[in-house]
Structure 1
Amino acid sequence: MLTQPTKKNNSGFTLIEMLVVVSVLGILVSLAGHHHTRVLKKSQDASVMIELNCIRNAVHQFALDNMGRFPQTLDELKPAHLKNLPKQWRGSSGSGCYFYDSVEGNVELYDASCSKPAEQTDQGGRKYADY
């Protein structure tokens, strides 16, 4: 008795097709990861600028409330003018402390040693000390 040959089921993907799909997906993921990192760094720099502006606004509000007198320290701003006073700033490519000049009422970003203005640059190439 003769048996009929069984039909092969050729459905599915070949190894080459799978490799192409996986490599394309890998390229897309790497591009998305790079973009995500860049956006994260920009948001860190924006956060530093926003915190600095909040502290500066609180200093000026204090002066308005106290007949032009600036606070002796930034701690005097709490809690009436500033709820939380950050001790350190951290940007995408640098960190440090806030320097306060009580005579002029200026608040600036200093480097991690708190001895000189921050020379590091943000993602846009601008020095943190110039914020």
Structure 2
Amino acid sequence: MSSMTQTTPAKHPRRESERGFTLVEMLVVITIIGLIMGLIGPRVLNYLSESKTKAARIQLQSFSSALDLFYLDVGRYPSTSEGLAALAQRPAGLNTWNGPYLKGGAVPKDPWNAAYVYRAPGDHGPFDILSYGADGQEGGTGTAADIVLGTQTSARGE
């Protein structure tokens, strides 16, 4: 019988720079990252939705100030049909209008990219301004709740 010679590949010693991660180590790291995201992710999303609500409230206050300036110049608040657009563009027949009363000369949309709703007279004062929130529909709770600015004090002291 002929003898078979087996050759084994020469083992190269691993260098320090050639080290890698094992599959188990990678799975452990991915699991830890997943757990952290599972715990922290909802809080981050909650902060983001709260910041949109706060931004909407700030815009509503800005509208209120602009509406008071409009009132001081014109002697009345814009009608519901004139809406918030009366703060950016002169309504027909108003010679005492000294606007635009909003920066940029345009009415911004709410943080959810929907138009604000303006009513005059309002349920809470001479005007109401509101955003329908995240769901874009009247009513709702949580992040979908309406954000309403009903002013009790205005330029005419009501």
TM-score by length of 2: 0.54
Q: 1:84 aligns with which of 90, 98, 106?
A: 106
Quote how far apart the aligned CAs of 1:53 are.
1.4
Mapped contact 1:71–1:102 kept (Cα < 8 A) = no
- Partner residue of 2:128 out of 79, 94, 107: 107
Q: What is the aligned-residue RMSD (CA, Å)?
A: 3.5
Seen in structure 2, the aligned counterparts of structure 1 residues 100 and 119 have a Cα distance that, compared at 3 Å, is same
Q: Which has the higher strand share?
A: 1
- Tell whether 2:91 aligns with 1:70: no
Q: Which consecutive residues of structure 1, in runs of 5 or more, have no partner in the other structure?
A: none
Segment drifting more, 76-85 vs 104-113: 104-113
> Which has more radius of gyration?
2
Corresponding residue for 2:49?
Answer: 41
| Identical-residue share of aligned pairs (%) | 25
- State TM-score, norm by structure 1: 0.62
- Say if 1:7 and 1:71 are closer, same or farther in 2 by CA, change over 3 A: closer
Note the alpha carbon deviations across 1:104-123, whole angstroms, 9 max, x for none: 5312326557xxxx322344
The amino acid that maps onto 1:34 is P
Q: Cα deviation per residue 1:2-22 (whole Å; 9 max; x = unaligned)?
A: xxx958659654433332122
What is the match of residue 91 of structure 2? none
CA distance in 2, matches of 1:38, 1:6: 55
SS in 1 for 2:110: strand
When residues 59 and 127 of structure 1 are mapped into structure 2, their CA distance, relative to the original with a 3 A threshold, is same
The aligned counterpart of 1:51 is 59
Q: In structure 1, what is the Cα distance between the partners aligned to 2:57 and 2:28?
A: 44
Aligned pairs, number:
117
Letter in 1 for 2:77: F
Letter in 1 for 2:117: Y
Q: Secondary structure at the match of 1:89?
A: coil
Q: Compared with structure 1, are the counterparts of its residues 128 and 120 closer, same or farther at alpha carbon in structure 2 (3 Å cutoff)?
A: farther
**Aligned-pair CA distance for 1:46:** 1.3
- Give per-residue Cα distances to partners, 1:46-100, cap 9 Å, x unaligned: 122122111111111111223x4222323221142123213x5355xxx664122
